[in-house]
Structure formats: structure tokens, C-alpha cells
Amino acid sequence: MNRILFVVLGGGVVAYSVANSENYDNVGNQKKKVVVLGTGWAGTSFLRNLKNPSYDVQVISPRNYFAFTPLLPSVTVGTVEARSVVEPIRNIVKKKKVDVDFCEAECYKIDAKKKKVYCRSTKNDKEEFVVDYDYLVVAMGARVNTFNTPGVEENCLYLKEVEDAQKIRRKVIDCFEKASLPNVSDDERKRMLQFVVVGGGPTGVEFAAELHDFVSEDLVKLYPTVKDFVKISLLEATNHILNMFDKRITVFAEEKFHRDGIDLKTGSMVVNVSDKEISTKEIKTGKISTIPYGMAVWSTGIATRPVVLDFMKEIGQANRRVLATDEWLRVEGTNDIYALGDCATINQRKVMEDISAIFEKADKDQSGTLTVKEFQDAVNDICDRYPQVQLYLKNKNMSSIVDLLKETKGDVVKEISVDEFKSALSQVDSQVKNFPATAQVAAQQGTYLADCFNRMDKCEKHPEGPIRFRESGRHRFRPFRYKHLGQFAPLGGEQTAAQLPGDWVSIGHSSQWLWYSVYASKQVSWRTRSLVVSDWMRRFIFGRDSSQI
């Protein structure tokens, strides 16, 4: 059968039928059509690892490149150039044995019943077309979450895409140039050079640190007359920044920002943003204050894209905030649709039920109590399977959940009842739901799913599945397991905080070198790797470029 492409013109749907001998594999079977939505961490990792030539892959994404997001804060101040952190998706897939086509367009509707996705070109003509699929991989990422705060969309800049980083770079220089004009009053200068970062997560903190370095290392020399008016403020609604990191890192970062003169306002929530002022409400007292600003960057987390919300309604997930999948990354309520990365989450209710089931199973003699050994084996099994629990335990700096029970019981635990565990688990529950959306998770999910697709036909011929899961007979593949490799928080001044597996925390210049090596090695191509490394060297030798182009 030929590939069918429907194009919607003036309200009517036109179907294109494209004769294509490549739609058959080398033994004459028709290739399964896989449609991938998105070319971010999840989609690209899936494409890079897909090796089975029995698929005909159609990639649809509004951007024709992959962006290395962890370096976007560096792009905002020119530590690295925008083109150094992106790789054209066509470059990434061109040497593959698998047939991969790319369309620069956005998907605006997924019809799970008819197995079609409706797309719209991002070019001026906004031409619409429909693509059918056998398997759909949804890897559309997420959008910025403004929490419906009035004025944010109109007045704040975001730091999500490469274009956002470029806008910030231009805006910073614009503020300095405007503040340097002769007729500007001192009050106005002060306002123009007040930079506000909203959100004390890793992105907000890293951006504030990069901006501080740019100002103190480069701009003060170039704009000596206005340097004393510069102020960087970081607003965070909770009591501390970098909440998801070890407490030692949070404390170090807060103290460093204090020494650097970055004004840290914790416990303060933004309630309104006008074109020149940000209004904040102190959480404890309810006191409202205003901060005049020259540039405000909003970085408070992510929310589900409208197209995904519509899709969730269609498949009976309207009551959820994020698209839910099972542990095999298959969207709940569908058969052939998979979702990975920031746009989806593994259904936590099921995870909790599953965790309880693991404990009940570990109680081999059905006595209602577990020995410490049985308990720890079960905990290890859970940590292995559920990174959320593992991360929560690491963040609490605990070696095992036994400590959590000790905390709740206040003594040394010898035997643990399943009920006791369940009550301790309810404490973990709220934390477990806040599993961070990171590139690491997205990339590992992409690799995992590609691996499943690579073995799909083999598994169809042998449906009994791997020995481990033969018992239940439910699935052909082992479930997705996340391996946490650690996380970094660059803090400026050539210092980085690193939290690595095994509760290993390192802060300072040595971690900065580790950061350089990890991020150089993680680049998707030798081209971007050499560009990024040469940008770092250029910055060491010549400083950052402050031209407003």
C-alpha cells in the first residue's frame, strides 16, 4: 500500500497518495508507519537509536533541529553561540538505515480512533495536512507555565527555546545601551538595569549566575558609567532555591548569590507584571511590593500543551493534568500511541499500587511483617524501577526508606509491617508526584522505546516475552527504568554544584571542569562538540561578545 498524505485546503481534505517502493522491507512486507511528533530530547533520542529498517518513519516538528537545552542559559549571554547548541535533525537521521522523512510543521490534533495526526505547516501559508500512522510517538515536550499570572505573557521573556535565549541576549545589551543614553534620569537607569529572574529552579538559578558573570566580567568594563546601577534579583515563591537538590547545595548557592550581590527574594510570589513593574506578594505576611524592572525572565516550570490536553480529553484522561502512560510508555487508553519526555508522565496511582504490591509479595510467609533484609530487597527493587522514589530518598539524604520509617517510628526498626510501610509511603507519595521533567529522563525514554521498536517484530513472533514477565504474560518488554546519573547546578564564577549518584555532592571549581567534560561529551555530533568547546575557549581568551545583532 502507498503512503497516504491528506492535505486540508480551504476546509476540504485532499488526500495525497505517494507511490513509494521504499514502503516495503527487503522481504516484501509492508513497512509499519511510525510517526514521531517532536525533535527534542525524547524524539531525537528515539530516532538516533531506532535501527530496525522495517519501519517507515515520519517526523513532524515545528523546528528542524535538535537543541541542547542545558546550554541555553550560556546562550543568553554569549558564552556559547546559538548555532553551537543546535544540530539539524536531517543531519542526525541521514546516515540511518531506517527510512526517515521530516516535515517542518506542528501537530494540532491527534485522532486516536482513526489513527491520524492533523498538522499545520509553520511557514506563512500554514498549509494543513493529515498523516496516518501505525504507531505514534508523542514527544512534544511542554510549554512554559505562567500559572495564569496577569501580564506575564505580554511582558516577560522565557527561557525555553533557542529563540528565547537569543531574545534575552539582545534585550540585556539593549537595556545597557538605553541606560547609557545621555538624557536618561538616574531613576530610569536604575529601572532599566534591574534584571529580574522569576523562579529559583535550576534554569532560573543558572541564568542568574550567567548574567552575573556577563555583567561582572564583561559589561562593567564596556559600560563603566552605568555599572553601579545594575541589579540582578531572583524571586522564588518557596523558602529556598534549588529545592530539588541536596540541602548543602541549596545553602552554598544561596550564600554565593548573597556574596555576589544577587538579590535573592524567597517566599515571594509574583502576582502581576506590568510593562515596567513586577508586583510580588510575600507569602507569610501577604504584603504586596513592586519592583521596577528593565528585563524580566520567567522560569517557573512547565505545563501541558493545548494539543495534548485536547488529546487527553479524547482518550478519557480529561481529569488529569499531564498525559499518563503505563510503565512501558504506552498512553493509557490507547493501543499504539507512546508518549515520552516532558509531555507525559508514568501514571503514579498505578505506580503506588505497584509499590504496595511489591511489598505484599516480599512478605513471603504472609505474616504481615517483613524482615529488614526482605524489606531492603523490596526497597531496592522499587528504587530500581521508580526513579521518583529513589530521587526523593536521595534528596532527603537517606540511604534507604528504612530511615524514613525510623523517622516516623522514632526507634530502630527490626521488622516492618506492610501497613507501617504503607503509612510511611503516604509521606513519600506527594513527593513522588513531583518527578522532575529532565533531558536525562526524556533521552533515556527515547532510547528505551527505540530498543522496544527494534525488537518488536522478534517479540511478535515470540509473544511469550522475556522470562521475567512470562508469569504475568502482560507485556513483551521489561518496563522502562530510569538510571539517575546525577545533576548539575552551575552557580557562576567557574563554580558548579554536582549531585551524583550515591549521595556524592561536590561544589566548586573541580565540579565546573566535570560539567565542561560531561556537557562536551553529551553533544549529539562532533560538529556541535567542537563548536561548543571552541566557544568556551573563545570566551576564556576574548570574553563574551556584546554586539547587539
Least Å distance, CB 119 to ligand FAD, is: 7
Stretches 36-44, 168-176, 522-530, 536-544: which one binds ligand FAD (CB under 6 A)? 36-44
Q: Which is nearer to ligand FAD, 370 or 437 (CB)?
A: 437
CB-CB neighbours of 5 under 10 Å: 17
Give the C-alpha separation, 94 to 492, whole Å. Answer: 38
* Residues facing residue 297 across a β-bridge: 157, 197
Q: Is residue 140 a contact point for ligand FAD (CB under 6 A)?
A: yes
Least Å distance, CB 246 to ligand FAD, is: 16
Could you give the angle at which helices 401-409 and 418-432 cross, rounded to 10 degrees?
A: 110
- Asked whether 225 and 180 are in contact (CB, 8 A), the reply is yes
Least Å distance, CB 162 to ligand FAD, is: 10
Site for ligand FAD in 498-537 (CB under 6 A): none
Among 47, 72, 92, 324, indicate the residue that binds ligand FAD (CB under 6 A).
72
Site for ligand FAD in 449-478 (CB under 6 A): none
**Helical H runs in 227-289?**
247-260
Least Å distance, CB 547 to ligand FAD, is: 23
Stretches 136-144, 170-178, 191-199, 312-320: which one binds ligand FAD (CB under 6 A)? 136-144
Give the C-alpha separation, 457 to 47, whole Å. Answer: 18
Stretches 35-43, 352-360, 459-467, 502-510: which one binds ligand FAD (CB under 6 A)? 35-43
Among 54, 58, 61, 444, indicate the residue that binds ligand FAD (CB under 6 A).
61
Three cell numbers written together for 68 = 541542547
- The continuous run of DSSP H or E covering 545 comes out as none
Among 52, 54, 58, 69, indicate the residue that binds ligand FAD (CB under 6 A).
69
Report CA-CA distances (Å) from 73 to 69, 246, 490.
8, 22, 10
Tell me the torsion sign for CA atoms 132, 137, 142, 148.
positive
b (16+ CB within 10 A) / e for 256-275? bbeebebebbbbbbbebbee
Burial of 225 (0-12, 13-18, 19+ CB in 10 A): exposed
- The continuous run of DSSP H or E covering 138 comes out as strand 135-138
Among 35, 273, 437, 491, indicate the residue that binds ligand FAD (CB under 6 A).
437
Q: Which is nearer to ligand FAD, 285 or 521 (CB)?
A: 521
DSSP-assigned letters across all residues of 115-131: TEEEEEESSTT--EEEE
Q: Is residue 203 a contact point for ligand FAD (CB under 6 A)?
A: yes
Stretches 179-187, 369-377, 432-440, 497-505: which one binds ligand FAD (CB under 6 A)? 432-440
Report CA-CA distances (Å) from 202 to 73, 97, 244.
10, 38, 9
Can you tell me whether residue 79 is helix, strand or coil?
coil
Q: Is residue 496 a contact point for ligand FAD (CB under 6 A)?
A: no
Site for ligand FAD in 237-296 (CB under 6 A): none
- The continuous run of DSSP H or E covering 378 comes out as helix 372-385
Stretches 56-64, 79-87, 222-230, 378-386: which one binds ligand FAD (CB under 6 A)? 56-64
Q: Is residue 37 a contact point for ligand FAD (CB under 6 A)?
A: yes
Stretches 7-15, 60-68, 415-423, 521-529: which one binds ligand FAD (CB under 6 A)? 60-68
Q: Which is nearer to ligand FAD, 230 or 307 (CB)?
A: 307
Site for ligand FAD in 141-160 (CB under 6 A): 141, 159-160
Q: Which is nearer to ligand FAD, 69 or 511 (CB)?
A: 69
Least Å distance, CB 361 to ligand FAD, is: 33
Give the C-alpha separation, 207 to 373, whole Å. Answer: 45
Report CA-CA distances (Å) from 74 to 70, 84, 492.
8, 11, 11
**Per-residue interface string for the shown chain with ligand FAD, residues 361-380, x marking contact by CB under 6 A:** --------------------
Among 4, 184, 402, 439, indicate the residue that binds ligand FAD (CB under 6 A).
439
Q: Is residue 492 a contact point for ligand FAD (CB under 6 A)?
A: no
What DSSP designation does 85 have? G
Site for ligand FAD in 285-344 (CB under 6 A): 305, 307, 341-343
Interface residue list for ligand FAD (CB under 6 A): 37-43, 60-63, 69-70, 72-73, 106-107, 139-141, 159-160, 203, 305, 307, 341-343, 437-440, 442
